[in-house]
Chains A and B, each alone.
Chain A
Amino acid sequence: MKISDLSEFPELEVIVRGVPERDVTGGVTGDLLSCIMAEAAPGMVWVTIQVHLNVAAVAVLREVSGIILASGRRPNEDLIEKCREESLFLGVCASSAFDVCAQLHARGLRGSV
C-alpha cells in the first residue's frame, strides 16, 4: 500500500498529502506517545486521537509514513503546519480508531513490519 491509497478510504479527509508514493509498511495505533515510541516501525501509518503538535514529533522520530486522526478529531493548526513541513500524510476519519484499524487491516496492513 502507498500513502496515496489512503486517500481512497471512505470518510477519510486528507489534510496533508505527504509523499503519495511512499510505502505504508504496516499500522500502529495508540494515544500514549511512549507506546508509539516503543512500538512504531518506520513506514507504519499511525492511528490516534491525539491532535497536538507532539504527534508530529513522535511521527518524525519513528519515521512513520502517515497519521490518521480517528473519531473525527480535528488537528491543531500547529500539527498541520508541522506535517506540511515534514511532508507527512495527515488525515481525519470520522470512524473510531477501531474501525479505521479494521479497514487498514482488511487492506493488508499488519501491526508488525
Chain B
Amino acid sequence: MGPQPYVERYVVQGGVFDAIGEASTQLKSVLKMLGIPSDITRRATVVAYEAEMNLVIHAGGGEITASVFPDRLELFVRDEGPGIPDIPLAMKEGYSTATDEIREMGFGAGMGLPNMKRNSDSLDVRSEVGKGTSLFAVIRFPSDPVQQPVKEG
C-alpha cells in the first residue's frame, strides 16, 4: 500500500560478538536522519539489537531488513540457523539456550524475544528446525505525520 518504503539492509555475521550492535547503531542513525520520533527509534533499536544478538549468538549470522513506510517501520530478520524448536517457550522471559560463557558476557538473558515483543506493535516468528528462523516486527508511528524536522546528528 502507498508509497515505496525506504529500505535498509544489514548483513550480520555469526559469532562476531564485538560487532553486535553495529547494525542497530546504523539503523538508529538512519531513523534519526529520517526524522522518526525518538521513542519509535528507541523501540526499533531494541528490536534490532535483540535480533542482532540472536543472529550472532544462535543463528550463525543472517540479515536484517528495515523498511520505513510513512506510518510504520517493518523489520524483517532472516537466518538459516538451527531454528527454534519451541517458539512459545523461547518467548518466555528467562528461557535461554546460550552457553555459560556467553551468559557471563551478559548475553543470553532469555529476554531477546520478550524484549522484541514488548517493543513491537506486532511480532511474527516462524521457524523450522534445521532450516532457519524468520521474524517480522512492525512498529507503528503515532497518528500525526512522521515528516518532522530532521534532528541534529
Question: Interface on A for B, CB 8 Å cutoff?
Answer: 31-35, 37-38, 42, 48, 50, 52-55, 57-58, 60-63, 78
A-B contact count (CB 8 A): 62
Alpha-carbon distance between A95 and B25 when the two chains are bound, in angstroms: 31
Interface of B is mostly: helix
- CB pair A34–B18 under 8 Å, yes or no, is no
Residues from chain B with Cβ under 8 Å of A38 in the complex: 46, 111, 115, 118
Question: Interface on B for A, CB 8 Å cutoff?
Answer: 17-18, 20-22, 24-25, 28, 42, 45-46, 49-50, 53, 105-107, 109-112, 115, 118
Q: A34-B112, A37-B115, A62-B42 are in contact. List 15 more A-B contacts (CB 8 A).
A: A31-B106, A34-B107, A34-B110, A37-B46, A37-B111, A38-B111, A38-B115, A50-B105, A54-B18, A54-B21, A58-B21, A61-B45, A61-B46, A62-B45, A78-B18
- With A34-B112, A78-B18 given, is the CB distance from A57 to B105 under 8 Å? no
- CB pair B24–A61 under 8 Å, yes or no, is yes
